[in-house]
Amino acid sequence: MKKIEALDVSVAILAAVSCLFMYIKVPVWALFIGWAWYFSLGATPDLIAKGIPPMITGSVLAILAFVLINVFTGFMPAMAATVVSVFITVFLLMISLKIPALNISLMSFNAYSCMFIGYGAGAYMAIKGMPALLNAAIWITGANFIGLIFGWMSIKFTTFKKN
């Protein structure tokens, strides 16, 4: 067995701290997904800025899927509307991956999935007067972004220079 390192402790502490976000209804599961992106995609600080465009793209396309489902259910069964909407939006997601600034497929697909399941399950804090899809996007995609920050912090906290 390898010895316990500072990163092991840092990640455990920050994971525990992240649970406090549940008090304000931040979907901590989405935070953990963003955190996993940080580590699985190289754990470099530039990943935060590089990750924003594909993360937003995936989230926006999931929102578009729900908008299309609502439109299409006006003239077709709900399952058919869902199938057609997912086909269209995932096809657009695949096309977006051909754009260099958006080609981090793990983030795009996960952000799409997070929004799709998070909105569908109501796993976000509803703010009165705010459209539900916008509300979900802020909370869920925001939690994905916070996860990237937590990934960076978990490494940063282990690399402080001693005076």
pLDDT of residue 86: 98
Could you tell me if residue 6 is inside a domain?
no
Q: With H, G, I as helix, E, B as strand and everything else as coil, classify residue 45.
A: coil
Could you tell me if residue 3 is inside a domain?
no
Six-digit token string for 112: 């799409």
* Domain span including residue 130: 16-156
Six-digit token string for 50: 């590089």
pLDDT of residue 161: 60
3-state secondary structure 122-160: CCCCCCCCCCHHHHHHHHHHHHHHHHHHHHHHHHHCCCC
CA distance 35 to 15: 10
Could you tell me if residue 73 is inside a domain?
yes
Could you tell me if residue 7 is inside a domain?
no
Q: How many domains does the chain have?
A: 1
Instruction: Give 10-residue mean pLDDT values along the chain (163 residues).
Output: 89 96 93 96 95 98 98 98 98 98 96 95 89 94 97 89 53
Could you tell me if residue 9 is inside a domain?
no
Number of H helices, E strands in the chain: 6, 0
pLDDT of residue 163: 47
Could you tell me if residue 26 is inside a domain?
yes
pLDDT digits over 59-102, tens only?
999 999 999 999 999 999 999 999 999 999 999 999 999 999 99
Could you tell me if residue 10 is inside a domain?
no
Taking the whole predicted model, whether its pTM rises above 0.75 is answered as yes
